[in-house]
């Protein structure tokens, strides 16, 4: 049912999934950025997932094989995703895609890249506006690794709390030397943290998510030497939750998937609140029994989880509504 081609956009490998049956009108286009902590993952690991999205939503899906850390540090992955999206937005007619219906989508680190690309393109008048962003348990900040979900799910597979810190440091610095500082919260000065607390605070997370042994975390200070290595975490292209309101207000509508048993759950909840507070429409889907990585495990080595399939069906339905 699909025609699949491997191409290059702006020196970046992409795989394009096009539904075979001819379409009377132009199709939707989905730019897909895979997860894997910016370190793992490829066009292959997310092939089943992209096939499913293309088939079920009858959309053209472009999966992006962006450069990986630690060999290629931030902002390499972000730049590859941005450049391929700009290329696609400028060439939609070659793929039978409606330029007004292009969506960015990604899981985990890919959700981070999709959010960052959405923010960068929000203010651009030279390209068609993105229609929507689909963020599947996205990583959206690296200032606070002691949010309720980080405490509650610190040893829940497939993403342990310490792994989340490890990956984001690999992406930023190509090493994980400051991992203990990140976990303790002593990698960003208190005044800077307080500056962002209006957006990044447990107070913005609904009470019902604060059980299961959560304890408020004491703010620790940070040495200049450590901050030198971690200050780029304050850049919204790395941590999209920290973007200014004027950028957030211009964003396209969002679909955000969160899982109860996931250290990244609260990143999604905090971003949902920021978008809604700024008048951006959000479709939120929460898997009460979900864990990190459940969606990319779709038909992976014969595994499949019913709740992962439910999430995918919801994503396909959201796409069909656009």
Among candidates 36, 48, 271, 273, which has minimal Cα distance to 171? 36
Q: Identify the active-site residue in 34, 181, 292, 296.
A: 292
Pair 267, 140: CB distance under 8 Å: yes
Active site residue 108: yes
Residues 6+ apart with CB under 8 A from 224: none
In the set 57, 59, 108, 186, the catalytic residue is: 108
262 catalytically annotated: yes
Q: Which residue out of 80, 107, 144, 262 is catalytically annotated? A: 262
- Count of CB atoms within 10 A of residue 195's CB? 14
HSE-CB at 100 with a 13 A cutoff on CA atoms is 3
Could you confirm whether 304 is annotated as catalytic?
no
Q: 136, 34 in Cβ contact below 8 A?
A: no
Between helix 306-320 and helix 47-57 the angle, nearest 10°, is 50
β-partners of residue 18 are 3
Distance CA 5, CA 194 (A): 48
Please identify every residue annotated as catalytic. Answer: 108, 262, 292
């Amino acid at each position: 049912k699909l025609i699949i081609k491997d191409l290059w956009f702006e020196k970046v490998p992409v795989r394009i999934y096009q539904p075979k049956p001819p379409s009377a009108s132009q199709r939707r286009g989905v730019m897909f950025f895979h997860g894997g902590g910016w370190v793992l993952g490829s066009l292959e690991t997310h092939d089943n997932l992209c096939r499913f999205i293309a088939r079920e939503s009858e959309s053209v899906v472009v999966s992006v094989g962006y450069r990986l850390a630690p060999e290629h540090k931030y902002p390499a992955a972000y730049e590859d995703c941005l450049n391929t999206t700009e290329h696609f937005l400028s060439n939609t007619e070659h793929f039978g895609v409606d330029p007004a219906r292009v969506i960015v989508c990604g899981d985990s680190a890919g959700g981070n890249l999709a959010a960052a690309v959405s923010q960068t393109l929000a203010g651009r008048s030279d390209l068609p506006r993105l229609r929507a962003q689909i963020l599947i348990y996205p990583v959206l900040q690296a200032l606070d690794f002691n949010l309720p979900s980080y405490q509650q799910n610190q040893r829940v597979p497939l993403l342990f709390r310490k792994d989340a810190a490890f990956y984001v440091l690999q992406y930023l610095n190509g090493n994980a030397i400051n991992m203990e500082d990140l976990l303790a919260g002593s990698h960003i000065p208190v005044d800077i943290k307080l500056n962002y607390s209006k957006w990044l605070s447990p107070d913005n997370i609904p009470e019902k998510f604060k059980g299961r042994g959560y304890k408020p975390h004491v703010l620790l200070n940070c040495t200049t030497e450590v901050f030198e290595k971690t200050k780029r975490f304050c850049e919204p292209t790395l941590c999209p939750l920290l973007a200014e309101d004027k950028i957030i207000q211009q964003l396209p509508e969002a679909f955000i998937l969160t899982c109860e048993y996931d250290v990244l759950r609260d990143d999604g909840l905090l971003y949902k609140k920021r978008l809604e507070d700024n008048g951006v429409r959000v479709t939120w889907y929460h898997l009460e029994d979900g864990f990190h990585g459940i969606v990319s495990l779709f038909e992976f080595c014969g595994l499949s989880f019913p709740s992962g399939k439910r999430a995918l069906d919801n994503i396909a339905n959201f796409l069909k509504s656009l």
